[in-house]
Amino acid sequence: MDAQRVALMAKPKDISRTKSSAHDELHSFRSWLRWMCVDQSNCWTFCLSWLVFIVFAIVIPVLSHFYLACSDCDNRHARPYDTLVQLSLSSIATLSFVCLSQFVRIYGLRRFLFFDKLCNESETVRRGYTEQLNSSLKIVFIFVAPCFTAEAAYKIWWYSSGATAIPFLGNAIVSDAVACTLELCSWLYRTVVFFLVCVLFRLICHLQILRLQDFAQVFHVESDVESVLREHLRIRRHLRIISHRFRVFILWALILVTVSQFASLLDTTRSTADLSIFKTGELALVSVSLLAGLMILLRSATRITHKALGVTCLATKWHVCATIESYDPPDVDMETPPTAMGVMGNQVFRRDASSSSSDNEDVGSEDELDNDKLIPAYAYSTISFQKRQALVTYFENNRAGITVFGFMLDRTTLHTIVMIEMSLVLWLLGKTVGIS
């Protein structure tokens, strides 16, 4: 009764932890979303968000292409690849904005980022996830800032060197300054929206990695098979939720980026293509931005799948160490005290672990899921062989990770995608420049 009373008293505290407030962990993140006009928490911000999207992702690119492209300019100021640039950025920005709007509208920002589930996690997971959230905007800035700087330099040069002169404000200089600012804002908006969704996916995957690393501690302490199984089922359920939410975005991002890159390759490898830094520089910036965002998605998905596979390896090692510890060799003198045998076994384990520590610099960093350390005997002293074997069999036949319509995004899938892309590239080059 006392335990139930304590649990009931603690329950309102956990529930209050999941509610949103004006000064919670997401306060600065909400402010940034509101500043970017992608916040849709009420009717006013919803209308404003869609209005800004239509203006910067559709209207300005259309006006820029049809009215500011300057078809009669000289050779240096011509923009023959502007159609591909505008279509690539606008299509990926439309996909990102629609998916982000759906996420926020259906789930809410707090639930979408799994902050309502943090009350059930350890302090290490909560602290690590909050730190990762605070650094997410810095990651967006790191990817966007270099490309935006190069794009701004190109646009300023293009307008200041007299490429176009459309005095729609009565003054050519003021008109060029306004047009240049609007084009840069449009480019920045579309790029940031795409990277924002990619970084949010990376953030959510990082939470699951923290949970898997925290879950690995159950193999080093006294625990039962049922609690281990329940925790792993909970992690697998969250991974299925993430896969279900992002599968459309990942698939269409892969398709759009692939189509954009092949269209760029087809246009730039034609016999009549005129290539120069002034003409293809903007196309190269768009290609780098799209590929960087796609790499964030694929790396985050494959990394969490690899970590989930590390749980199976850790459970297998845990089972092997337990079996070795409980095995009695038939040729050992039976007068040898069991305590001495245990000490000898532990000494062998310690010697092997210490001898491999000198090679750590050759294998890179290690964590609780991926290391060469043996598990001490106290961690499995009360679990039978049959239960351990059943748990290992379950891990081997129930792989956890990010899936896209049933296909696991692991390193094998990533290698397959790369090989298919390379085959298409070589086929396209064979058709255009004659590579065989």
SS3 labels along 242-258: HHHHHHHHHHHHHHHHH
Rounded to an integer, the average pLDDT of 304-326 is: 79
Nearest to 252 by CA among 96, 104, 102, 143: 96
Number of H helices, E strands in the chain: 14, 2
Rounded to an integer, the average pLDDT of 193-205 is: 93
Position 354 pLDDT exceeds 60:
no
Q: Are 408 and 305 in contact (CB under 8 A)?
A: yes
Position 251 pLDDT exceeds 90:
yes
Q: In this structure, what are the phi and psi dihedrals at residue 305, rounded to the nearest 5 degrees? A: -65, -40
Rounded to an integer, the average pLDDT of 283-292 is: 90
- Write down the pLDDT at residue 192: 93
Q: Residue 268 — very low, low, confident or very high, per pLDDT cuts 50/70/90?
A: confident
Rounded to an integer, the average pLDDT of 331-339 is: 46
**Least confident range of 16-20, 248-252, 274-278, 311-315:** 16-20
Q: What sign does the dihedral 252-258-260-263 (CA atoms) show? A: negative
Rounded to an integer, the average pLDDT of 250-262 is: 92
Distance CA 281, CA 279 (A): 6
Single pTM value for the model? 0.81
- Write down the pLDDT at residue 371: 62
Position 380 pLDDT exceeds 60:
no
